[in-house]
């Protein structure tokens, strides 16, 4: 499959799983219309050639459990409103992109998260203290960014945490 993602995918209102991963010739931006898929529980668009920013309309995907956008060419910062409504999200994979800016403090709203993978981007600044609210998280991958400062003390309260990757910052 080649070309771009059609905005008409947003019209499949009861779609629960969309997996268009590993289609290396799929390119262009992620259409904001995908934010209309309010029944979506899994969105897998990893290992493509997608570019542009993550649509702010993803804040409407409140049933989403699995969001995998790693290994693309996505850029820009993480829209804060997205993390304010995705409390059901358990897997967030945004690694190996060109994302930048700070990790938003609203990341702490992802209370069901078990895996956070933001490695190999250009995130900068400190790791937000709100990361300590992710009580179910088992794996945090923040390596190969531009993060600075001290580890938040709140990480010490993550009793389920098994792996913490923060090297190359």
Q: What is the mean pLDDT of each run of 10 residues along the chain (169 residues)?
A: 92 97 93 98 98 97 98 96 94 98 97 98 98 98 98 97 98
Residue 5 covered by a domain:
no
Total-model pTM: 0.95
Residue 4 covered by a domain:
no
- Which pLDDT value is given to residue 2? 82
Parallel/antiparallel/unpaired status of strands 146-147 and 122-125: parallel
The CATH number given to whatever domain includes residue 152 is: 3.80.10.10
Nearest to 137 by CA among 90, 74, 85, 97: 90
Tokens representing 79 are 């829209």
Number of structural domains the chain divides into: 1
Tokens representing 149 are 């400062």
**Which residues lie below 8 Å from residue 153, measured CB to CB, with a gap of 6+?**
129, 132
SS (H, E, C) 62-121: CCCCEEECCCCEEEECCCHHHHHCCCCCCEEECCCCEEEECCCHHHHHCCCCCEEECCCC
Residue 85 covered by a domain:
yes
Q: What are the helix (H) ranges across 3-143?
A: none
From the number of C-beta atoms within 10 Å of its C-beta (0-12, 13-18, 19+), residue 25 rates as exposed
Residue 1 covered by a domain:
no
Tokens representing 13 are 């209102």
Residue range(s) defining the domain that contains residue 107 = 12-165
Residue 127 covered by a domain:
yes
């Amino acid at each position: 499959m080649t070309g771009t993602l059609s905005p008409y995918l947003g019209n499949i209102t009861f779609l629960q799983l969309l997996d268009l991963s590993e289609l290396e010739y799929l390119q262009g931006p992620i259409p904001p219309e995908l934010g209309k898929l309010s029944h979506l529980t899994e969105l897998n668009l990893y290992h493509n050639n997608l570019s542009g920013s993550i649509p702010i309309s993803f804040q409407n995907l409140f049933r989403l459990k699995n969001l995998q956008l790693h290994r693309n060419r996505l850029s820009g910062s993480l829209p804060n409103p997205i993390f304010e409504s995705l409390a059901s999200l358990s897997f967030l994979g945004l690694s190996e992109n060109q994302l930048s800016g700070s990790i938003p403090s609203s990341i702490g709203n992802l209370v069901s998260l078990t895996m956070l993978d933001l490695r190999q981007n250009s995130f900068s600044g400190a790791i937000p203290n709100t990361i300590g609210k992710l009580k179910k998280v088992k794996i945090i991958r923040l390596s190969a960014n531009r993060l600075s400062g001290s580890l938040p003390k709140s990480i010490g309260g993550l009793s389920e945490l098994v792996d913490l990757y923060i090297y190359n910052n």
